[in-house]
Structures are given as structure tokens and as C-alpha cells.
A = this chain, B = another copy of it.
Amino acid sequence: MKYGGNVEGPMMDAKAKPMIADDHLARQRLRMWLQMLKATRLVEGALRERLRSRYDTTLPRFDVLSALHAHPEGMKMSELSQYLVVSNGNVTGVVDRLVLDGFAERGAVEADRRAFLVRITDKGRTLMDEMAAEHLAWVDELLADVSEADTARAISIMLDIRHRK
């Protein structure tokens, strides 16, 4: 609408340059990505600080424990890393420390001796019951300026991004 963008005439893409259909839209998407990144970091920072001062724990530990809390039947290491969108080796270290502190435990998986079934312990569950409620309130506060309609829209947009894969 604004302007034609890259016209698909002959003699084009001879240089095999990055293919962008609509330059204006591309820049708009870049702005969105930058804002997304900053907003995410801001919220992460606020949550991290509260987790530290209130529970003397870290964000990754909370994330893993939260995932285990939501899956009482246990999760395999690989399921955890996929669920949290982090690398495999990463989960190993965080789970190690959680096990060390008695918040989680590694069990065997029948029929596959390579895998572990990580489960939250009673001690971990007790802690998470308390933390989860507060975490919910924190997120509610940090996103307080986002209306219900915008929340739904944002969820939909994020899913669009994720499911492109």
C-alpha cells in the first residue's frame, strides 16, 4: 500500500540477497521483536529479584520446579528441556542442584534404562504450593497494564510464533 516494496521484475534476486517481501512490514516485525525482548527481560528481572529476596532461589530453578509441580507423574529430562525451551545440558545442572537440595528426585523409567523420570518431592511440593501463589500475583502485577482482550491477543500471537517452528 505505502509503496511497492521489491517488485518481482526480471533481473531481481540475482544476488540472492535476503528475501524480504515487504520492507516496511519486516521493519515493523523487527521493532516488535526488540520490544518483546526488552519486555521479557524486564519481567524476568523483576521476577528474579523477587524470587531471590523472598525465597533465596533463582529463575531457572523455579521454572523447572514449576514444570515438575505441574506434572506430578514426573517428566523425563528431555521432556523438561523441550517444555522449557532450553538445552539438554542445561537441565542436567539445574536438576542436579534441585536434587541436591531435596526438592526433586530422579527415578528410573521402566523399559528404558537411558532415561530418568524426574519428580518433585514432598518438600518441593510444599515449597511450590507457596511460591506458585505468589508468583501468580507477581505476574498479575507486572502485566497489570495489559487488558484481558490484549492478553488473549498476545497469547494467540505468541502461539503463532511458536507453532511456525
Contacts and interface: CB of A to CB of B under 8 A. Distances in A.
Interface of A: 17-20, 25-33, 35-45, 85-86, 133-140, 142-146, 148, 150-155, 157-164
A3 to B, nearest CB: 13
A136 B27 contact: yes
A39 B153 contact: no
The 8 closest A-B pairs by CB, nearest first: A18-B137, A35-B158, A26-B140, A41-B85, A39-B158, A29-B143, A145-B160, A39-B161
Contacts of A85: 37-38, 41-42, 45
A86 B39 CA distance: 12
A151 B38 contact: no
A16 to B, nearest CB: 12
23 contacts: A18-B133, A18-B134, A18-B136, A18-B138, A20-B136, A25-B151, A26-B140, A28-B151, A28-B152, A28-B155, A29-B139, A32-B146, A32-B158, A39-B159, A39-B161, A40-B40, A41-B86, A42-B162, A45-B85, A145-B163, A145-B164, A150-B153, A153-B157
Contacts of A162: 35, 38-39, 42
Contacts of A145: 160-161, 163-164
Contacts of A144: 164
A37 B35 contact: no
Given A32-B143, A151-B25, A154-B154, A19 B161 contact: no
